[in-house]
Structures are given as structure tokens and as C-alpha cells.
A and B are shown apart, each in its own frame.
Chain A
Amino acid sequence: MISFEHVTKRYGERLALDDVTWRMEEGECAVIHGHSAAGKTTLLRLITHETQPTSGVVTVGTFRGGRLSRSHRALLRRTIGVIYEDFRLLPDRTVYENVALSLYIAGQHLEADLHPKVRRALHEVGLEAHRDLLPAELSYGERQRCAIARAIVNRPALILADEPTGALEPKSAAEVLSLLLRIHREGAALLLGTTRAEVANVIGGRRYVLEDGRLRDAAVAAPAGAAAGGA
């Protein structure tokens, strides 16, 4: 599903990724753990083609390497659900509209098709009652759940989460992680980047450590939630 072949990324003099070779299969769950500025976000941005590798080849599904045209980049991004630390919700749209935006972008404009999908996504993240609220009227945890609903409403095969609990207090963080695990168990591949070891422990799956631009395979672990009965 995703493969990096000898990928190096430099920002001027600074080396963000150093000769990374790595694969992730369909339906897999992986956590990339590393300190701040270790290159996690760069790795995720390479997958979404928001940036280009200095050298090496990144392949995502059928989109292989090189500089994609704007229309191909858009097409690629529609197949991925991305969750950001700062939510990136549109402030002047309601929860419902934020989630529906993913469907509009994917070319689904009929209310009859769109409405049940948005309702289902909001139901999955427990935000049905807040559908008419603006993001500013939600707690941080609710905003992240809204962002998750937006990421999953199209049923993408791959979910990327860049420090999804970074701005959340522990209870909301646990809810969000539990939600992500549930989505993964329903079949979506999940790739999560985090600075927190406890988050990596909760998510489980294949664990990588990113240090000084180098990616190291740490271990395959069962999610903590699997033993404890939830995150």
C-alpha cells in the first residue's frame, strides 16, 4: 500500500529523513514514534504528496513516485483520511458541513446519498447531537472527533494521524485513540505519528522509531487496549 525506497528529505542543510526504506501493507496498523522534529510529519507529508523527497521513491497505492500533477495529487489525497494535531476544521462551517465537505470534494453532491453517510460518520464518533454546532463551540476532544468523522466519512483505505492527541487532555485522548483503533479494526490501515510512547503503546501494531532522520523497526506489539478491554 505504501512503500518508501531509499527516501531522503532535506530542508536546506537540515536532514529530515535519511535513506528511509519502508513498507506498509493494506489494513496494517503502524505507529511512528519519535521526538519533536524527528521527521514524522515530513514522512506523512511525503505520503500525501504535500512535499517531494530529495531522493528516493514514495509509492502510495497506484501513485508511484515523481512529481504528480495537481489533479493526480488531489485524486491521491481523496483516497486517504488525514487527521491533524490542530484538527484543521473550517471555522465557518458546522460539524455536519465539515464532515460533508469530504463527500463534496469526492464528487458526491446528492443530499440523498450524502446525508446517511455523514450521519453514520457522526454517529461513529458520537457527535450526532452536535451536528449544527460550529467548531469553536466544541471542546478540543470533540473537534478532533469531528476531524476523525471527516477523515472516515469516505471510508478511505488508509488513515494518517499526525499527533492526533497532541492537543487533548488524557480522557479525550483515550477516546480518540479508542476510536482510531475501532476504525482500524473495521479494515482501514492506520499510520499514526506521535511523540508519546504511551500513545504508541495503546495503538499497538507495528512500531517504528524515527531518530535523526533514520527509521528503525522497533517491534510488533498488541494494542494495550486489546488486553485491557479498551484504551
Chain B
Amino acid sequence: MFLYFWREAWRSFRAHRGLAVTSVLSLTAALTLCGIFVLFDHNARQALNAIGDRREMIVYLKDDISDVQLSTLTDKVKLYFGEPTYVSRQQAWTELSEQLGDPALLSGVEDNPLPASLRVRLKPELLNFTAMEQAAKQVLEFPEVEDVRYGAEYVRRLDEFSAGMRATAWAAGGVVALAIVLMLFNTLRLTLLARRHQVEVMLRMGASDRFIAMPYVLEGLMHTGLAAVASLLLVFALQQGLTTRLAGLTFLPWTWSLSFVLLALGVAWVASTAALNRILRTIGS
């Protein structure tokens, strides 16, 4: 059965080559635009993940806690919040000295004022502002804890930027999906109107809407599939061209590329089916 539909789709594709090429080029342009957004979104996510990896929570400890208390606290933090690393007062002092570079700057300080701390590499599900804020409050309630710092403002901004990038990518995807719907609707309408006589004959012979529509739906999928592959090639060319200027710019992983093509085909399937239902009802009874 499908062989017949594919044969018909190919027949229609060949018969309306001009229209098909125009459709594929228009879809390629729209999908390339979307592909560029997806490429930048992917790279931005990678960059954000790299930054996110460096997000940590510093739990300052009270001066008078015992080794047993420290051990209990470390276990609890490890269980609920992430991987803790103990930094003693002396270590903190050494690190500060190294960061300042000039020991003379600290020569006036008689006693080490720095507290011991736990540097907590948070669990992935806690790497957002709300979860970190919540975690900080909970950690602060432990009696052994003096204070908690996690760079709230920095984390909040990072999250906002990340959400903005995602929203932009989705908006671009939405606009492109709409463009695909409109382009396929018009292409299929023109194709069907050019074959109006044949469609009317088929309807009179008892063909169901599905029987008539299926080859055109497949034709829409052929246009979109070709356009999706072409747009990925263009995005790949762009990425290769930009690599010299934007170091670290990587192409989409194959799972993203495959999802990109499948999503485009899914939108095309829905658009073609909806368009044909509508068009067939205007052509004949």
C-alpha cells in the first residue's frame, strides 16, 4: 500500500519540479535560521554547563565544633546536598596568601581570622538559584554551621541568562514551525489545485480523503526532509567557517541533528495533514 503512495508522491514531485524546488529552498532557508539558533543554543548550554560545574556552596563552620560533629555534618551534607571538601582554617589562610600573592599584605594580621569550611560541589538537581537558596537555608539550620555562601546574585543571573537563551531558541523554533506550516499549506494547495481534475475524478471513483491526501503528505515530508538535511549541511558549513573566530564552537551532536530532522518532519506531517483536510473539502464533494 505504502509503495503506491510513495510512487504517487514521487510522480507528483517530478511533475511539479519547479514548485518542489521552490518549496525545498524556502523550507531550507527557514530551517537554516532555526538551525543557527539551535547551534548557538547548544554551544551556550555547553558554556553554561561548564560554568555551572564551578558552582559551589561554601559552608563556614563554627570554631568550636569537634571532629565527631564535623564528621556527622560532612556525612549529612554528602547525603543531601553534594560532595563536600573540608578546608581547615590553616588551608584557608594559605589559599588567601597565595591569592594575594604578596605575604607582606597579611603580615599585620596576628591571628588567623578565617573559619574552617566545607566546599560543597552540589548535586546536579541543585544547580539552580531556587534550589541553591533552599539548600543554603537548610544547611544553615545545622548547629555546627556559622554561615553559608553560594554567590546568590551570580547564580540568579546565570539562571536568567540560561532561561533567556532557551526561550529564544523555542521562539525561533515556533516561528520556523509556523513558517513550515504556511509554506507547506501553500505548496500543497498549489499542487492540489494543479491536479484538481484528477482529485475530482478520484473522489467520484470513491477515493477516501486519506487515499488522495497520503501521497501529498509524503511529498510534503520529502520536501521537509530534504530541506532539513540541506539546512544541517549549511549550519555545519557555518560552524566550520566560524570555528577560527569563535574558539570552542562545536557542531550539534548527532542526537540533536536527528531530533532536528525528526521534529521538522513531525511539524510537516501535522501541517500537511491539516492543510490537505482543509483543501480537499474545498475541492470536491
Tell me whether A and B are bound partners: yes
In the complex, the answer to whether B285 meets A105 with C-beta atoms within 8 Å is no
In the complex, the answer to whether B4 meets A71 with C-beta atoms within 8 Å is no
Name B191-205 residues within 8 Å CB distance of A.
Answer: 198, 201-205
Chain B interface residue count: which class? 10 to 19
Contact with A along B41-76 (1 / 0, CB 8 A): 000000000000000000000000000000000000
Name A89-130 residues within 8 Å CB distance of B.
Answer: 89-90, 92, 101-102, 104-106, 109
CA distance A73 to B209 in the complex (A): 11
In the complex, the answer to whether B207 meets A74 with C-beta atoms within 8 Å is yes
| CB of A75 closer than 8 Å to a CB of B | yes
| CB of B208 closer than 8 Å to a CB of A | yes
Cross-interface CB contact of B206 among A88, A90, A105, A109, cutoff 8 Å: A105
Q: B147 to chain A: closest CB distance in Å?
A: 72
**Closest residue of B by beta carbon distance from A100:** B4
Cross-interface CB contact of A104 among B4, B203, B209, B285, cutoff 8 Å: B4
Name B7-22 residues within 8 Å CB distance of A.
Answer: 11, 15
Chain B residues positioned under 8 Å from A148 (CB to CB) = none
**How many A-B residue pairs lie within 8 Å, measured between CB atoms?**
50
CA distance A150 to B205 in the complex (A): 9
In the complex, the answer to whether A101 meets B205 with C-beta atoms within 8 Å is yes
Chain A residues positioned under 8 Å from B3 (CB to CB) = 109
Cross-interface CB contact of A92 among B1, B11, B203, B204, cutoff 8 Å: B11
CA distance A24 to B69 in the complex (A): 101
CA distance A48 to B1 in the complex (A): 26
Given contacts A50-B285, A90-B198, contact A105 B209 (CB under 8 A): no
In the complex, the answer to whether B206 meets A78 with C-beta atoms within 8 Å is yes
Contact surface of B with A, Cβ cutoff 8 Å: 1, 3-4, 11, 15, 198, 201-209, 211, 285
Q: Identify 6 residue pairs between A and B in the complex whose beta-carbon atoms are under 8 Å apart, listed by A's number.
A: A50-B204, A70-B285, A92-B11, A102-B205, A105-B208, A150-B205
Contact surface of A with B, Cβ cutoff 8 Å: 48, 50, 70-71, 73-80, 82, 88-90, 92, 101-102, 104-106, 109, 150
Known: A76-B206, A105-B202, A105-B205. 19 other contacts (CB 8 A): A48-B204, A50-B204, A50-B285, A70-B208, A71-B209, A74-B203, A74-B208, A75-B206, A77-B205, A80-B206, A82-B204, A88-B201, A90-B201, A92-B15, A92-B198, A104-B4, A105-B207, A106-B206, A109-B1
